[in-house]
Structure 1
């Protein structure tokens, strides 16, 4: 009888643990909707600069973070997003992706979208020669791809054919050049001025004010700023309390392959992990012809 009661107690404890976990997972799925974004021909999105916006519903916000990865602040922001079951898009700078590839892989492992933001973040690519500007963009993609090279296939797929101009200082010629490679350009609907020397409180107030004024859209933040990390949890909680929801920008199905097939592509085809056929058990008994040094 005691063993039956003990078993029942264990089962009850397991159910108590499973039910909240499932409820939390369901809440996470409802918290951030995946919005598939077309990239063919390289459209430009963001009402602050362009006539086209991504397909967000009323009171729906897509969080985006620029300029990372940063070892001091990006992990803090990732933890906050996890805590609130929110997914975002990170526009990464190539030189920092090269310096901190482990953070690039961590962003992907946590399910966020990864995009690029040039190699070294020059504030205005309009002042560059066409060749130099194109190299900045190309090297940004290459650095992020290199950082993800050892990641699982699912995580490598997080790199999207998305690009954002530093300082939002775009160029019609460069947008057209990106479009020829099926890379979409992203601006935003609102910002929070977190790049300025203001307090975290002021960043939060400006974000809320701008979001309320427009009603829906892409919010541009920076995962390199401590003030942004300091106010992010409160911002998310306030938006949820006011009836907002969050969206994750993801490329339309096949967008990665479409970009990889373009002439002179900026993004390479994703190399699928090959599944090796299992050898019969007797094969293990055969001596290897490879020298030991070849296995090191």
Structure 2
């Protein structure tokens, strides 16, 4: 269930929607099976991107047929971002009430259509990972924008200092199971995968509460596991636009895939992977392309934080074996080992 919508300070003046009058086309395109219906009115705020679609057919007596207009967002408003006058920024911040486990992303869940025309949500799976996640973070910081990350529990336990960078920069952190196992397989203990993944993220974040956002590996969500996540009051995320970044090594190809799909959907939750090297390389180009295309970023937050289960916290802590038994001090690697010469 979608909760309150809360505009960001930078975009407070842009959140009052104004429905276009009869003189302008007001129908959303319905080219994608996962997109909005053709009867949904296009809504625009002050300076918000507007999508143009095919207008109603002209009367029989008209001399010329009505033109077909391509779905193209209008230019987005300027953002105050030091060092980047052409930054994306964040158009608004949305708070989600995760009670009951609502699902988002039209590829699988169509109950909550909360994005306005031209709005996107940036999401990243499978991290944190050296080089790749920091590259993604640098690109996001350069555009003063925010994203939602779905880290794998094991990866979070291996690279907690990177995940803490994600949180420190104001991004939302959910979870993506303990080991990225396919929860649709009967041999997999789905409950343990979900809970250990959440506990590992919490431990990696230094015990800080995490956001109750969850994404199933490979977007495969068996009914019993979907019901369990609902009982745990975790929102489930699919997507509207899949970048398929794991299928290409060329950043340009990834950017083209995302932008061409957005031309069809007009808006949506974009699925990417900060585990993939190509994604880190593509992010500067993709963010520039989103800005040039007039798209606007929505940042997701939750009404409540996730309460992990103590038994799984203890199990993960035991499996990780903690700093003392591993011969460590509890400090991140970067503060213990530092390069003083070379690269």
Q: Does 1:125 align with 2:186?
A: no
Determine the structure 2 residue equivalent to 1:227: 278
What is the correspondence of 1:195-234 to structure 2 with a 5 Å cutoff? Answer: 195-234=246-285
Q: Distance in 1 between matches of 2:124 and 2:98?
A: 20
Q: Give yes or no for contact 1:46–1:52 (8 Å, CA) kept in 2.
A: no
Equivalent of residue 59 in structure 1, options 85, 97, 118: 118
Q: Give yes or no for contact 1:188–1:218 (8 Å, CA) kept in 2.
A: yes
- My pick for the range that moved more, 68-77 or 229-238, is 229-238
Determine the structure 2 residue equivalent to 1:115: 174
Q: Does 1:142 align with 2:199?
A: yes
Structure 2 unaligned runs (5+)? 1-78, 314-343
Q: Give yes or no for contact 1:108–1:114 (8 Å, CA) kept in 2.
A: yes
Q: 1:116 to 1:165 in 2, by over 3 A?
A: same
Q: 1:30 to 1:195 in 2, by over 3 A?
A: closer
Determine the structure 1 residue equivalent to 2:299: 248
Given the two structures, how large is their TM-score scaled by the length of structure 2? 0.63
Q: Distance in 2 between matches of 1:246 and 1:139?
A: 31
Q: Give yes or no for contact 1:35–1:55 (8 Å, CA) kept in 2.
A: no
- TM superposition shift of 1:43: 1.0
Higher RCO (C-alpha 8 Å, min separation 6) = 1
Determine the structure 2 residue equivalent to 1:278: none
Equivalent of residue 131 in structure 2, options 58, 72, 78: 72
- TM superposition shift of 1:46: 0.8
Q: Distance in 2 between matches of 1:176 and 1:227?
A: 35
- For residues 18-72 of structure 1, what are the alpha-carbon distances to aligned partners after superposition, in whole Å with 9 as ceiling and x for unaligned? xxxx9437x8795342111221101111101111245211100000000000012
Q: Pairwise CA RMSD of aligned residues?
A: 2.6
- TM superposition shift of 1:204: 0.7
Determine the structure 2 residue equivalent to 1:171: 222
Q: Distance in 2 between matches of 1:228 and 1:193?
A: 10
Determine the structure 2 residue equivalent to 1:98: 157
What is the correspondence of 1:21-36 to structure 2 with a 5 Å cutoff? Answer: 23-24=80-81, 31-36=90-95
Structure 1 unaligned runs (5+)? 1-21, 151-155, 268-296
Q: 1:55 to 1:265 in 2, by over 3 A?
A: farther
Q: 1:266 to 1:43 in 2, by over 3 A?
A: farther
Q: Distance in 2 between matches of 1:57 and 1:119?
A: 34
